[in-house]
Structure 1
């Protein structure tokens, strides 16, 4: 298994974010208080760049706009496919943790990165 693998959104997802920023710029320039709307494209850009999953020899780390969460391989009970084909980690404690930006179609790649710890369908 690779030492560390990152699964993120494509940077091409920043194109609509830039388009959004250009579209809200005239509104933001109309009044001093309207500049607050520039926060929306900024948050969208941060989301595209940050959100994802890291897989390494110790476990899986999920990154969201909030804090990152790590699940060690010893704490992993399995993977559940939820609504919209979203993947969720199921821990040995019975809790679930959503894997951001990953869908059921990404399960074979995740299984390969896990070094056999996750079974591919």
Structure 2
């Protein structure tokens, strides 16, 4: 499967810009005392999460990416794709487990389903 066949959903890049601004704002505090250097780790972690986190979908699987890892879910395990009350996309697995898909909104569900190679049926009328 080529990279071109993968649909990627990522968080808004404004979060990355905010993390850079926070890092620059924390520099005076972190350099005031050596034991305050850990303060710089917080905006760095947010920047890494904003850059790396999200959901990738192709014809074989969903890949949920987080700050320090990823989870692969084959489409065969997906029982339902839906949206919650907050407008986030949620997947229910065959064992009943519910997972919120990072960076995927309810409006993105048709694009997500198209990654499977299947057609979206119009059963809602």
TM-score with structure 2 setting the length? 0.84
Give the 5 Å matches for 1:22-101. 22-101=24-103
Per-residue deviation, 1:9:
2.1
Per-residue deviation, 1:83:
3.7
Per-residue deviation, 1:41:
0.8
Q: Root-mean-square deviation (CA), in Å?
A: 2.2
Distance between the aligned counterparts of 2:115 and 2:84, measured in 1? 21
Aligned residues of 2:52 and 2:65 also touching (Cα < 8 A): yes
The number of equivalent residue pairs is 121
Q: Secondary structure at the match of 1:79?
A: strand
Cα-to-partner distance string for 1:26-72 (whole Å, 9 max, x where unaligned): 11011001111000111011101111111112111101124311111
Q: Secondary structure at the match of 1:68?
A: strand
TM-score with structure 1 setting the length? 0.86
Aligned residues of 2:31 and 2:37 also touching (Cα < 8 A): yes
Structure 1 stretches lacking a partner, 5+ long: none
